[in-house]
Structure 1
Amino acid sequence: MAVLGFQYRHGPQGKMKPRLQTSLGQQLVLTPQLRQALHLLQLSTLELEAEINAAVESNPLLDWDESEPLRVADDGAPASTETPADGESGDNDFRDDDWSPAGEAWQESRGWNGEDGGDPTDRMVQTDSLQDHLSWQLHLTHLSERDRRIGLMLIDAIDDDGYLREPLDAIAQSLLPETRCTPDEVLAVLRQVQRLDPVGIGARDLAECLVLQLDNLPAATPGRELARRIATGPIDRLPRIGIDGVAAELDCSQDDAAQALALLRSLDPRPGAQIGDLPANTYVVPDCVISRQQGMWRVVLANERLPRLTIHRGYEQMIQHADAGDAGYLRGRLQEARWLLKNLAQRGETLLKVVHCLLREQSGFLEFGPQALRPLTLREVAAQVGLHESTISRAISRKYVRTPRGTIPLRAFFASGIGTEGGGEASSIAIQEMIKRLVEAENPRKPLSDARLAEALKATGVPVARRTVAKYRELLNIPSSHERIRVA
């Protein structure tokens, strides 16, 4: 279904979930600069490198700069952040040349799976599908086990464009006999799925997809309410009635109608296409580096792979002497170049904020391993750094950090939680690690059953149901107790 030529959307730059901050909420205006910022934030390091190369080739005002590294921000923002390691303090002074990401300090690093690894960038990773991306977010929510099963069935039915084509009663039928639910109950869970990133996911038609994206914008966004009326009204007839017809039907001025239609064109009619477009077997390239020196955890951007950019001064000076036509063209490209440089700096600053927050919350994870991973959700990180949940999801998407424990995906720092007898929470990852260690230490002639494992966990203050233990054991690829018996 076409809507006034959604061809105005240029590939991934149609991603329209803006970065939301309290300080900007009432003044946010959708602009090409904002769309570019969101697009750059979602890119992996390899994709960003390709994007920068393409920008230089197409824009004569951009040039390579071999003298200065790409900075985090052009307003004096720090190029690194640091956090005291647990129970330690240290010297706050830090220089960029205190370490080398690929140097000797990392030669003895252990891989994410505990295996000896050489250069982490020589490892390859399989890209996540849209279903993987959504399922991961769903598991970080506080849905009940029953609603989570419904949510996973809904996610499985979402197509590559991000739409749910299956009727809700068919979803309910497909859950039988394990789960009995009504279409209304499925709809209630669908509303939760539609809150996941990317915005607009799980819609049942184009109108709902656009409304989901519009509702996620600040109420003060110019043209939002009228755009919503168009999306729920004459959207199917837009190619036929045009702006004049919209203005007449909705009793508004042509200028207001044009503004609302421009807002609709800026939205993404295929939100699912944003995810899973990274080629398989892509090399893992870290975006950040976490190290500890003199008792301090330090975070820096790993920018050694990124080309360095600057404004081409020769062309910039030509603007003053060019004729009107050429000057207008050069000014436009100059503005684009400045946008790119600013948005690259903003990407780095946002990434540093997020990683610094993860480091602060999960320093125990880096110190002691997965068993020390505490429950952490996108919402918690978003609240701490002052961004929207979907912005956090973009910032960590396909991003990796090099640590003393190896190169780790940023998603590994998140985990859902289970209540403990002490009143706190234990992360699901930590519980899996506990199960793994219990199995490793068991008597091979009398392996621990799932019930016995549940009892052992309860004895440590983590009450987990037997069926939950079975699920985690299967996730760890650990056979059942009767399959683990070793008599020799």
Structure 2
Amino acid sequence: MLKQSLQQKQQLRMTPQQMLVQKLIALPVISLEQRIKEEIESNPALEEVPENEPEAREEQDALTDGAEGEASDGILGDEAADFMEESDEYVPAYKTSLAYDADSEKEQKPVAATVSFQDSLMFQLGMRNLNERQYLLAGYIIGNIDDDGYLRRDLYSIANDITFLQNIQTDEQELQPLLEMVQELDPPGIGARNLQECLLIQLRRKAIKAPATELALKIVNRAFDEFTKKNYARIKEMLHTDDEKLKAALDEILKLNPKPGDAYSEEGAAVTVIPDFTVTLENGEPELTLNYKNTGRLRVSTVYSEMTSHRSKKGKQEREAASFARRKMEAANSFMDALKQREDTLQKVMQAILDYQRNYFREGDESLLKPMLLKNIAAVTHLDISTISRVVNSKYVQTAFGTLLLKNLFSESFRKESGEEVSVKTVKNLLRELIEAENKKSPLNDDALVDMLKEKGCQVARRTVAKYREQLDIPVARLRKAL
């Protein structure tokens, strides 16, 4: 049986303008510059003010306000209203210019043109004296090398793949010499099936076979397990050597590259960081400025403003052009307003962070960092935690003592035995200092670190010390041992 019912409920929906502001807030300076360029390309009514011209935002506002007033009160206003009623093609500007889909979130970041890992190997392979079959089989081996430069699959499986996929009968005996030839290519160590083979290839490729290199070959070849466990006493016993010679050989091994494929990795490329904020010291007090240099100054095109302010009688095409210009001007003004809101929000949040961590920004000493969470800044600025998170994410601040990732200034609190609350970063720095000062011949284990931290007033559990140590990328005591 059908029934009718009346329900009342509240829903919170963001307007397109609010969505645009939130997206712009999350962008760092480099991505924002790209986003502005895309907006200028897609909206002909938006243009960048040349550097040699004075900033004319107020002048532009007056011009657009006057154009809107004339459009509403003058002849054009009546014609535009008639056109909106008669034309089915008219779409409100807020539906066309601000309602971005999910794909608009994905910023197209420029990628440097580089030679790929496999292309470089195939080029070197072409310099070898190979027949067509050998070239094809060696190329298939290269295709199975991963990004680290290792051949993780056995030759039997590769031979089966070639037989089924390429219809070429082959076996491990035919592929083995081809693999050895691939391992002769650059960078040294390429095509190895494990770390031990990778290190052996690099040591054998050394032009000068010094005594330390010869001993390093023996260590990797005959005492690799002991080497990985840093059991130096056992290595000296097996190879009948002393501390001095062993140290020289270990230095040779440590110079080798355990991941030869990283030479072609994009992750290894230098990343340019442009800070969103700059904190300078004026008379000993930190002062905040935003980075405007790369965002540019925008304005509405005067051509479009004149199109909407013209009072002459218009035909259908002129009315369509005027309506198009008006929509584009609305979109341009909305985008500039969103940029202004982004600027105000970033300024407000960063100023709150600066006030909260003022002592740290004066001295640059991490021990002065106060425990700070997103909710602390949200309470000061009266903004939502999600907005604070967007501001902090991927943003950098330039200071007199370095360029810092903003989110690294946030940390939880830790209560010392004296009752004083300090940042977790302070405890981590203290842990790092203890490990750096330890005797490398007898490194401190986690239990010893717990006792030493307790002496300094930090009551920390052993599992917490292990967690902090892993977060600092510090290995266990056994792997920190040195001669």
Instruction: Give the TM-score normalised by the residue count of structure 1.
Output: 0.50
Letter in 2 for 1:299: L
What pairs with 1:5-24 in structure 2 (closer than 5 Å)?
none
Look up the match of 2:430.
Answer: 434
- Determine helix, strand or coil for the equivalent of 1:457: helix
CA drift at 1:485: 3.8
**Distance in 2, Cα, partners of 1:269 & 1:46:** 20
Which residue of 349, 353, 359 maps to 2:354?
359
Quote the Cα distance in structure 2 between the aligned partners of 1:29 and 1:455. 54
Relative to structure 1, the CA distance from residue 46 to residue 478 in structure 2 (aligned partners, 3 Å threshold; closer, same or farther) is same
Residue of structure 2 in register with 1:299 after alignment: 288
1:379 to 369, 375, 382: 375
On the 8 A contact 1:400/1:408 being kept in 2, the answer is yes
TM-superposed deviation, 1:39: 1.2
In the TM superposition, what are the counterparts of 1:393-408 in structure 2 within 5 Å?
A: 393-408=389-404
**Equivalent residue number for residue 158 of structure 2:** none
- Taking a change above 3 Å as real, the CA distance of residues 485 and 29 of structure 1, as seen in their structure-2 partners, is closer
Task: Deviation per CA, 1:32-76: give whole Å up to 9, x if none.
Answer: 2111111111112111111111211222221221234699xx99x
Q: Which residue of 2 is the match for residue 119 of structure 1?
A: none
1:283 aligns with 2:272: yes
Q: Secondary structure at the match of 1:310?
A: strand
Partner residue of 2:30?
A: 46
Task: Map residues 300-379 of structure 1 onto 2, 5 A cutoff.
Answer: 300-321=289-310, 323-366=318-361, 367-379=363-375
Contact 2:35 2:107 in 1 (8 A): no
CA distance in 1, matches of 2:284, 2:443: 41
Contact 1:445/1:486 (<8 A) preserved: yes
Residues 45 and 334 of structure 1, relative CA distance in 2, 3 Å threshold: same
Task: Name the aligned partner's letter for residue 410 of structure 1.
Answer: L
Question: How far does residue 431 in structure 1 lie from its aligned partner after superposition?
Answer: 1.2
Contact (CA 8 Å) 1:70, 1:308: kept in 2 or not? no
1:275 to partner: Cα distance: 8.5
The equivalent residue for 2:45 is 61
Amino acid at match of 2:25: L
User: Matches of residues 149-168 of structure 1 in structure 2 within 5 Å?
Assistant: none
Deviation at 1:27, TM superposition (A): 11
Distance 1:362 1:394, change over 3 A: same
- The whole-number CA distance in structure 1 between the counterparts of 2:443 and 2:414 is 25
The higher-RCO structure (CA 8 Å, 6+ apart) is 1
Would you say how many aligned residue pairs link Structure 1 and Structure 2? 270
Does structure 2 conserve the Cα–Cα contact (< 8 Å) formed by 1:371 and 1:430? yes
Aligned to 1:250: none
3-state DSSP class of the match of 2:414?
strand
Shift of 1:443: 3.3
Q: CA deviation at 1:423?
A: 2.7
CA contact (8 A) 1:286 1:407 kept: yes
Q: Which amino acid aligns with 1:479?
A: P
Instruction: Write the distance in 2 (CA, Å) between the matches of 1:435 and 1:352.
Output: 35
Distance in 1 separating the partners of 2:106 and 2:437 = 41
The Cα of 1:369 is off from its aligned counterpart by 3.1
**1:360-418 alpha-carbon deviations (Å, 9 max, x no partner):** 22234342433332221111111111111111111122111111121111111111222
Matches within 5 A, 1:16-415: 30-66=14-50, 67-68=53-54, 282-321=271-310, 323-366=318-361, 367-415=363-411
Distance in structure 2 (CA, Å) of the matches to 1:36 and 1:343: 7
The superposition leaves residues 314-348 of structure 1 with CA deviations (integer Å, 9 ceiling, x where unpaired) of 32122022643222221111111111111111111
Deviation track 1:162-195 (CA, whole Å, cap 9, x = no partner) reads xxxxxxxxxxxxxxxxxxxxxxxxxxxxxxxxxx
* CA pair 454-368 structure 1, distance change in 2 beyond 3 A: farther
User: Does the CA contact (< 8 Å) of 2:414 and 2:422 recur in 1?
Assistant: yes
Contact 1:426 1:462 (8 Å CA) reproduced: no
Determine the C-alpha separation between the residues in 2 that align with 1:405 and 1:464. Answer: 30
1:43 maps to amino acid: L
Per the alignment, do residues 59 and 394 of structure 1 end up closer, same or farther by CA in structure 2, a change over 3 Å counting? same
| 3-state DSSP of counterpart to 1:283 | coil
Q: 2:450 aligns with which of 442, 449, 454?
A: 454
Aligned partners of 1:374 and 1:430 also within 8 Å: no
User: 1:371 touches 1:434 (CA, 8 Å); kept in 2?
Assistant: no
What displacement does 1:307 show?
2.1
Matched residues in 2 for 1:398 and 1:413: separation?
13
Tell me the equivalent position of 2:479: 483
Unaligned runs of 5+ in 2: 1-9, 62-94, 112-266
Structure whose CA Rg is larger = 2
Match in the other structure for 1:105: none
**Contact kept? 2:364, 2:401, Cα under 8 Å:** no
Consecutive unaligned residues of structure 1, counting only runs of 5 or more, are 1-25, 76-261
Deviation at 1:297, TM superposition (A): 0.3
Per the TM alignment, residue 436 of structure 1 is displaced from its structure 2 partner at its CA by 0.8
The structure-2 alpha-carbon separation of the partners of 1:34 and 1:275, relative to structure 1 and needing over 3 Å to count, comes to same
SS at structure 1 position matched to 2:309: coil
* 1:289–1:402 CA contact under 8 A, matched in 2: yes
Q: Helix, strand or coil: the match of 1:319? A: helix
Amino acid at match of 2:309: Q
Identity within the alignment, %: 34
Cα distance between partner residues in 1 of 2:424 and 2:343:
30
Deviation of residue 277 (structure 1)? 8.0
- Indicate if the aligned counterparts of 2:31 and 2:107 stay in contact, CA closer than 8 A: no
Tell me, yes or no, if the aligned pair for 2:371 and 2:411 is still in contact at 8 Å.
yes
Corresponding letter in the other structure for 1:59: N
Distance in 1 (alpha carbons) for counterparts of 2:54 and 2:457: 54
Contact 1:288–1:301 (CA<8 Å) still a contact in 2? yes
Alignment-mate amino acid for residue 430 of structure 1: T
RMSD: 3.2
Structure-2 separation of matches of 1:46 and 1:70: 24
Give the partner amino acid of 1:474. E
3-state DSSP of counterpart to 2:417: coil
Q: CA deviation at 1:444?
A: 3.4
Name the CA shift for 1:268/1:326 in 2 (closer, same or farther; >3 Å): closer
Measure, in 2, the Cα distance between the counterparts of 1:475 and 1:334.
50
1:11 match: none
Higher share of residues assigned helix: 2
